[in-house]
Amino acid sequence: MTLPAITLSKTDIAAQNMLTAFREMGFKETKRDGVLRRAEIYLIVIDSPIVPTEEDSVPSGIDPYPIDYDEIAHELGIGYYVVASRHTSRSGTPTLTVHATGNFGEAVYGGHPRELQRVIANPLRNVYLELLSCPPDGFTVSLEATHHSPTQFITPMFFAEVGSNPEAWMNLDACRYMAKGILNGVQAQSKAPTAIGFGGGHYCPKYSEMEMNYAFGHIAPKYVFEHLDDNLIRQMVERTIEGVDHAFIEDSSKGSDRKRIEVSLKKIGLDLQKA
């Protein structure tokens, strides 16, 4: 039996507020330092950043980064992680987001260049659907395209974030709502056909809408098309661990990009459909 786990960093203001909410919802300390549990769900609390900023030093080795999540998963029987985190954007728009991680190009925010983290698509969708139910006033809910670290763990993970500025991170109602959405989402059993997406912007409005009927794993927005090759496209498929049923591309994508991606997908037995 594999169990879901939530993880967060004490260095993250929004995560600190979510930790308080998780405690209020019944997570209790175990005999192991930094590990809390409620029934069949673990909560792993760490002291270092999970995603480094540009100012942080990025470890050159594969593991641990920042801790060995695979080792903990093996010891505790964890099947996947949801990373409860803050979200930052230049606009500062109050937003609740969910996304897979990985670097299509350089590793500016940790992980390894041109490497995608394994992701589990249906639990990601279930958290997203929970967040859609009744978000706090002024907050939008959205998928994000695949970005930033971690990239290298065998154990699947995805991020659920409160953003996009310090005022939002300190919004206790938003942080409680996200904590509740994560908890209810990992307990949900709903399943949908899995998919990967190509094109569109970072906040994936088309794929966010389609998430009602599909469970998206990795999403490659238009701005990473220059990096896409057979290897990265194969990673998008193989590192969505339930397998991929559908591959979609935004209808506004250039024909040359569509053809290149279509040829690559055919090599691994997937057809490309217009979104």
List per-residue pLDDT tens for the chain, 275 residues long.
578 999 999 999 999 999 999 999 999 999 999 999 999 999 999 999 999 865 554 555 544 567 899 999 999 999 999 999 999 888 889 999 999 999 999 998 888 999 999 999 999 999 999 999 999 999 999 999 999 999 999 999 999 999 999 999 999 999 999 999 999 999 999 999 999 999 999 999 999 999 999 999 999 999 999 999 999 999 999 999 999 999 999 999 999 999 999 999 999 999 999 99
C-alpha 219/C-alpha 250 separation (Å) is 11
Q: Answer yes or no: do 129 and 263 share one domain.
A: no
Q: Answer yes or no: do 224 and 106 share one domain.
A: no
Q: Answer yes or no: do 216 and 158 share one domain.
A: no
Ramachandran region, residue 64 (left: φ > 0; alpha: ψ -120 to 50; beta: rest): beta
Q: Answer yes or no: do 90 and 141 share one domain.
A: yes
pLDDT at 216: 98
Question: How many domains does the chain divide into?
Answer: 2
pLDDT at 62: 47
User: Which letter, b or e, does each residue of 1-32 get, where b requires 16 or more Cβ atoms within 10 Å of its Cβ?
Assistant: eebbbbbbbeebebbbbbbebbeeeebeeeee
Q: Answer yes or no: do 118 and 93 share one domain.
A: yes
Q: Which long-range contacts (CB under 8 A, 24 or more apart) does 134-138 make?
A: 135/96, 135/177, 136/94, 136/171, 136/173, 136/174, 136/177, 138/94
Task: Answer with the one of 146, 169, 187 that is the final residue of a domain.
Answer: 187
Q: Answer yes or no: do 97 and 233 share one domain.
A: no
The model's pTM is: 0.96
Q: 145 and 202 in contact (C-beta within 8 Å)?
A: yes
Q: Answer yes or no: do 76 and 199 share one domain.
A: no
Report strand pairing: 215-220 vs 194-198: parallel
C-alpha 119/C-alpha 211 separation (Å) is 15
Which residue in the block uniquely carries the two structure tokens 């005999």?
A: 31
C-alpha 195/C-alpha 140 separation (Å) is 23
C-alpha 239/C-alpha 118 separation (Å) is 4
CATH of the domain at 221: 3.40.50.10700
Q: Answer yes or no: do 113 and 235 share one domain.
A: no
Helix extents (H) in 139-204: 166-169, 172-187
Q: Work out whether the CA dihedral 198, 200, 202, 204 comes out positive or negative.
A: negative
Give, in order, the Cα–Cα distances in Å from 244 to each of 120, 192, 197.
Answer: 11, 11, 11
Domain of residue 82, residue span: 3-187
Other CB atoms within 10 Å distance of the CB of residue 268: 14
Task: Answer with the one of 187, 209, 232 that is the final residue of a domain.
Answer: 187
Task: Answer with the one of 151, 172, 187 that is the final residue of a domain.
Answer: 187
Which residue in the block uniquely carries the two structure tokens 């220059």?
A: 226
C-alpha 79/C-alpha 199 separation (Å) is 30
Ramachandran region, residue 102 (left: φ > 0; alpha: ψ -120 to 50; beta: rest): left
Q: What is the DSSP letter of 226?
A: G
Q: 99 and 158 in contact (C-beta within 8 Å)?
A: yes
CATH of the domain at 7: 3.40.630.50
Q: Answer yes or no: do 173 and 45 share one domain.
A: yes
C-alpha 19/C-alpha 142 separation (Å) is 22
Retrieve residue 176's tokens. 């409680």
